[in-house]
Structure 1
């Protein structure tokens, strides 16, 4: 089958979500929406939903698409129902990074969140500009969550 070996990355299960104040979900896009694995992960949170155990938690998303017009915004939009049903507060990037208005090079992402373009075969790595937007996005998200948690 020539499938790549399975990565030895840590795996989080839905029940662990209660241990955190916020989540940065990095979501690959398939046909303009989150990949099925992400949907399956949230489908497994029914017990948490029944208890509203994720209410008042925070989430933001970073997307990756194979092409420039591969559905990063629609991925963000179609992910919001998961958050809304759980009472999770979505924190968008907005235009916190002026690079998002850059017209000099290809750049993924937007006000919904940072992103990258992977190319249809996965060969493209995030650009330095995209990585700088991710950095601003993460700091922005951390600032919002920290302010809420500390009550400042």
Structure 2
């Protein structure tokens, strides 16, 4: 049987969102998905990046591990899971730039009916985690994605995360996602894959 194809496309500067992305991918793999992980690229140059300690170095390291996402990745996928840090209470410019670049696929109707989900992180408590996830729902709806929230459909949800998607508060990058938050992200990967399979993967019929 064909495997559900899941694209995990994220932006991360200091690895918190990256760790959630890896957990989402792990959850998807657990239930039989074919997964692509992609990191969107910076929209500013090295001079700006050097103003934030570690940004340039971390970006260089992560960009050697993950390919940049393309239109072809989005067209390939049965499900697209976006990951973003909160930037001033909303989606990061880096991830939004990738989404904005999908206009050609949108115009051709090639994203309609794909599964969509989102996870994220922020530096401070009440820094906009839930607002960011909900803000990402808007472009997902415009793309024609079938938005999949988490609800409270798994025991992990009663310890961490939000019903809108996995989240983490890094306390100014002093705290990395713990087992509870990673468990929510893995559940998100499993949930998205299960729904993508139901919508897009048809069983193969054996000829009599």
Aligned to 1:42: 99
Matched, 1:146 2:203: no
The number of equivalent residue pairs is 146
Gaps of 5+ in 2: 1-49, 204-208
Task: Report whether the alignment pairs 1:77 with 2:134.
Answer: yes
Paired with 1:50 and 1:10, the residues of 2 have a C-alpha distance of 25
Q: Deviations over 1:69-89 (max 9, x none)?
A: 111111111111211111111
When normalised by structure 2's length, the TM-score is 0.65
Q: Which residue of 1 aligns with 2:163?
A: 111
1:14/1:42 contact within 8 Å kept? no
Q: Which runs of 4+ in 1 moved over 4 A?
A: none
Could you give the per-residue CA deviations for residues 13-37 of structure 1, whole angstroms, max 9, x where no partner exists? 2342101100121111112111111
The 2-side partners of 1:89 and 1:38 are apart by: 19
Deviation at 1:151, TM superposition (A): 5.1
- SS of residue in 2 equivalent to 1:141: helix
Secondary structure at 2:68 match in 1: coil
TM-score normalized by the length of structure 1: 0.87
Whether 1:125 aligns to 2:176 is yes
Q: CA deviation at 1:100?
A: 2.8
Q: Give SS of 2:97's match.
A: helix
Note the residue ranges of structure 1 that are not aligned, 5 or more in a row. none
Say if 1:96 and 1:136, in contact at 8 Å, map to a contact too. no
